[in-house]
Amino acid sequence: MSDASRPAIEMTGVEKRFGATEALRGLDLAVPAGTVCGLLGPNGAGKTTAVRVLATLVAPDRGTVRVAGHDAVRNAEEVRRAIGLAGQHAALDEGITGRDNLHLFGRLHRLGARRARERADELLTRFGLAEAGDRLVRTYSGGMRRRLDLIASLVTSPPVLFLDEPTTGLDPRSRLEIWDTVKELADGGTTVLLTTQYLEEADRLADDIVVVDHGAAIATGPPDRLKEAIGSQVSVTLANPEQLAATAVVLSALTGGDAQVDVAERTVTVLTVPGVSVLLPSLVRELDGAGVLAEDVAVRAPSLDDVFLALTGAARESAAGSQESADLGRAA
Ligand SMILES: Nc1ncnc2c1ncn2[C@@H]1O[C@H](COP(=O)(O)OP(=O)(O)O)[C@@H](O)[C@H]1O
Ligand SMILES: [Mg+2]
């Protein structure tokens, strides 16, 4: 029986090993119904494995997995009926039209011929692909393929949707189109779990972010908390290189971070420490007070690299850091 108060997607202590590789090392996550969860992590973190376990394509070695009220191991068939899945590599037939692809998906999912046609038309119209729908998929751009693949996962109107790196490799405009599609689905009440390597993407789409590294969650919380905990990068470029040292002092004092001086670029950069937000006006005022003439002041939003630096204290290539999970919900 499904229980409305339980998360729509739930993983507890999930482990999965492929030979010597521990792809998942006790992954926990809980996604309330009707929300979007962003599984954020670098290549090899275990994102795809997590999605494959949730979608019942791979059985976990250990731990429990529940999706849409069903145990993913014991009731895999029920789970499959409740989910849609779109991956990084579109599973489309190149030699037929987009519309025929959707029709085929509908038939595969046991819709009647007529209903499958109707559903294909509905989806193409709703997501702005009505005209493109009559062209061969072979002629589609990468972004259109990805959108059609995503739409194909909606043929059965699944209440739970898994999207594995839906925008990796896409140009900015196609990325925005995918984002709009995900937002529309979320607004319609679909529970979405998407994986991504982009903090910005998780920030835009997710109600909650789970940062994964080496097969386990290293932080969980809403995007704002995560960004607060990471801080952002502030850089000041000077007209006069003699003022670099004074600028470094001001930046360190204001942010509590370690200011880095780049003499060649006449720039001082600092990553603000967790919990300290730097307001541009106060920065400008402080620099003024110290007699520093800034040519340019920039505040850059944190990236995935910054996330890993802040959470593990190590750059992500060498992120052998702590596997302890930071609960950002409580930390902030
Ligand atoms: N079928 C498999 N056989 C062997 N190793 C695998 C397999 N699938 C994933 N892995 C390994 O498990 C780790 C996690 O992979 P994956 O889940 O694909 O990460 P991500 O999607 O975050 O890039 C990687 O080290 C990867 O090489
Ligand atoms: Mg992957």
84, 161 Cβ separation under 8 angstroms = yes
Tell whether ligand 1 has an atom less than 6 A from the beta carbon of residue 143: no
Tell whether ligand 1 has an atom less than 6 A from the beta carbon of residue 48: yes
Tell whether ligand 1 has an atom less than 6 A from the beta carbon of residue 44: yes
- Taking alpha carbons only, the member of 312, 328, 311, 305 closest to residue 43 is 305
Question: In angstroms, rounded to a whole number, what is the distance separating the alpha carbons of residues 308 and 325?
Answer: 13
What is the four-CA torsion angle of 236, 242, 244, 247, rounded to 10 degrees? -80
pLDDT tens digits along 44-91: 999 999 999 999 999 999 999 999 999 999 999 999 999 999 977 667
- Which atom of ligand 1 is found nearest the CA of 52? 17
C-alpha pair distances (Å), 202 with each of 80, 190, 198, 224, 228: 25, 17, 7, 11, 15
Residue 320 reports pLDDT greater than 60: no
Query: What ligand is nearest to the CA atom of residue 214?
Result: 1
Question: In angstroms, rounded to a whole number, what is the distance separating the alpha carbons of residues 64 and 200?
Answer: 30
Ligand 2 center to 45 CA (angstroms): 8
Name the pairing type of β-strands 208-213 and 36-40: parallel
- Which atom of ligand 1 is found nearest the CA of 164? 21
* Residue 118, C-beta contacts closer than 8 angstroms, at least 6 positions apart: none
Protein residues with C-beta less than 5 angstroms from the ion ligand 2: 47-48
The residues that bridge with 297 in the sheet, in sequence order, are 236
Q: What is the pLDDT of residue 331?
A: 34
Tell whether ligand 1 has an atom less than 6 A from the beta carbon of residue 47: yes
CB atoms within 10 A of CB 313: 10
Tell whether ligand 1 has an atom less than 6 A from the beta carbon of residue 142: no
Tell whether ligand 1 has an atom less than 6 A from the beta carbon of residue 57: no
pLDDT tens digits along 199-220: 899 999 999 999 999 999 999 9
247, 263 Cβ separation under 8 angstroms = no
Average model confidence (pLDDT) across the chain: 88
**pTM higher than 0.75, yes or no?**
yes
Residue 186 reports pLDDT greater than 90: yes
